[in-house]
Structure 1
């Protein structure tokens, strides 16, 4: 039985159901090979851990207890999610500022029930809830990428500029790109060029930045997110984790006033996860707003200043 991150993007209850199903399928005649970044939850399913070396070959091999006892600190420093090695949170350096965006009785039946929400500058807001509660739909509505079925999205005058009487879904694309950046749940849904470099350069170019500034921005993001060796690669040839980092970087490239991300940290090792958290924290601490739809409890603990929980529409829906 070969499984590659089988619980990615699932809510905690759904992930536990998957692990229970896997455990129930194992017997004396079954071999399980499980590829996983988040090791702690998977440990009850395995009796051997193999850590691959990025340069090739095997970095460590043995029982979980033996591997983590002998190499735990070093592996954590190298990017492995070693149980018992927490990451320090990135708390906000100042209190949240002015309102950027509000949702008033916002909904899109049957995908999202009526929801009220406020997003402020200098704040990282986490949106949580079970699969099917409408979190991704909410992200698209807040990002101006879907027209509301009910209610309204209101942008502040500071965020909307000349469009302050117009809802975000009616803004022109260049204006929306400058003001609100979106990271889709599926990275491939937002790739439109043939190279990683051009994908990162597209947003800054569309907003009129000089080419020298564009190249400086792209080079910095490529290095920080460990994509520099892939600058000439086609985005559709990247691994899942690399594609996720590229999709986040494309939104960060324009430093939008408001950044809305859907599951921004899936498929990441400890080191690239930390870099993503740092990038979001730097954007927030510079006075931008960050909204993250996520099942990643570590991400919420490290970054979120406030959490909103959605519930499935069949149980009443909306946010709490």
Structure 2
């Protein structure tokens, strides 16, 4: 029976001046279903990585101990499986089947048993693609399922998951919950999970552990969380089950800025383009694009943003957005023309980081537009304050938590003050407080006349903010 324990444990990353977290003490017994809660950046992902034994000695300094049955997790190979926050970082091999089989092969499992496990794991997580399918052709949500399948195939005693439903559509998230429930019921595996979709997992969890930077703030069954504690935690940004209220708007939709004409989208080299019903993007409006994983939402966003060419048809900028640009098609614009007109926030925020500090990252766009340095300084300071990144001004973007990276990526797009802002999963990794602040920020931008297009599975965001919703199916985009 595997038992995880942390005794006055803490960690400080080498590049940071303060600990990520400290004085964490808890014990997790075999078969428990633990939900780790805490504000964004409090160290939840760091603790998960410590449990899995993947924090390197060169990454930082450890205090106290984390043990599995009295031994360091590093010495318990194969007993703990970890699904990381960013599924891109767990894709190893070119084909789906090989990637899922990789962990089993490293454990020395017989070949014939490996492929039985691979097929069973893919079925469990709903990864319905051929085993020889290219991993690079998977959507973000499919890669999340791929990472989970690779862990499940190893049949670990403990499964650690870092926001496993962040990039999944609602049906996929529910399917994942059902799959994990089957695994736990069949094997007795222990689950330790970081999640912001707490409503989905509240009845699944047998225990919640609320983390603060200086220790455990509360530990017990979800049903026993006192109301006064719940109110206190919500004020600090900790996600708890709640009801979302729409944000009132202070204006109406303005002129059309972008339109599509007989558009078909797909990644370069795609042999199966997706037709898109003609749509338009208006100033002063939030347009939400929703749909199942793999339906083409991100390809549509990148096409609208002028970052990849249409497979057929085109995206056209109206005269108001085009201005002095040389073409009415954003895909033809120079980078500087695009920067000041359409800002894009990628699904994986680290794909757009180019500087060594948060401040320099936010300064890059305005500097490329040759804005005066005094204006850049004022703009960047304002953005860092609004996005709660001021204390991290000199930190490297890659040392930030997932939620902090997401806020920074939104900030880099806002820094160039584009008329159209296209965001792929803008609320990924946010705690309750920063989620609300992100919604407030996007609402203010809408009221100022910016057009906002968001690709999202976050139904709470849509309920709070969306003026129109376009739902993307497996084959078509429908109004």
Q: TM over 0.5, yes or no?
A: yes
1:225 and 1:245 in contact (8 A); partners too: yes
Which of 74, 78, 92 is residue 249 of structure 2 equivalent to? 92
2:367 pairs with 1:188: no
Which of 244, 248, 251 is residue 413 of structure 2 equivalent to? 251
- Give the stretch that moved more between structures: 20-29 or 287-296: 20-29
What SS is found at the alignment partner of 1:116? coil
TM-score (norm 2): 0.64
Which of 247, 258, 271 is residue 101 of structure 1 equivalent to? 258
Shift of 1:279: 1.1
Structure 2: any 5+ residue segments left out of the alignment? 1-158, 267-271
- Separation in 1 of the partners of 2:333 and 2:229? 52
2:391 pairs with 1:234: no
1:105 and 1:151 in contact (8 A); partners too: yes
Shift of 1:165: 4.2
Partner of 2:335: 173
2:225 pairs with 1:63: no
1:92 and 1:123 in contact (8 A); partners too: no
2:117 pairs with 1:117: no
- Separation in 2 of the partners of 1:103 and 1:174? 22
- Separation in 2 of the partners of 1:88 and 1:222? 26
> What are the superposed Cα offsets for residues 65-92 of structure 1, whole Å, 9 maximum, x if unpaired?
22153411111111112213x3432232
Partner of 1:47: 206
What SS is found at the alignment partner of 2:278? strand
Shift of 1:111: 4.6
Q: Aligned pairs, how many?
A: 315
Structure 1: any 5+ residue segments left out of the alignment? none
- Separation in 1 of the partners of 2:464 and 2:299? 24
What SS is found at the alignment partner of 2:262? strand
Which of 294, 309, 314 is residue 471 of structure 2 equivalent to? 309
| Distance change in 2, residues 1:111/1:58 (3 Å) | farther
- Separation in 2 of the partners of 1:157 and 1:166? 8
Which of 183, 189, 192 is residue 33 of structure 1 equivalent to? 192
* Relative contact order, higher structure (CA 8 A, sep 6+): 1
1:129 and 1:309 in contact (8 A); partners too: yes
1:255 and 1:283 in contact (8 A); partners too: no
Which of 176, 186, 189 is residue 18 of structure 1 equivalent to? 176
Partner of 1:217: 379
- Separation in 1 of the partners of 2:456 and 2:294? 13
2:245 and 2:463 in contact (8 A); partners too: no
| Distance change in 2, residues 1:164/1:174 (3 Å) | closer
> What are the superposed Cα offsets for residues 133-157 of structure 1, whole Å, 9 maximum, x if unpaired?
1110010011010111111111110
- Give the stretch that moved more between structures: 1-10 or 87-96: 87-96
2:292 pairs with 1:134: no
What SS is found at the alignment partner of 1:44? coil
Higher-Rg structure is 2
Partner of 2:164: 6
| Distance change in 2, residues 1:266/1:111 (3 Å) | farther
Shift of 1:294: 0.3
> What are the superposed Cα offsets for residues 165-207 of structure 1, whole Å, 9 maximum, x if unpaired?
4300111111110000000111111111111111101111111
- Separation in 2 of the partners of 1:228 and 1:303? 26
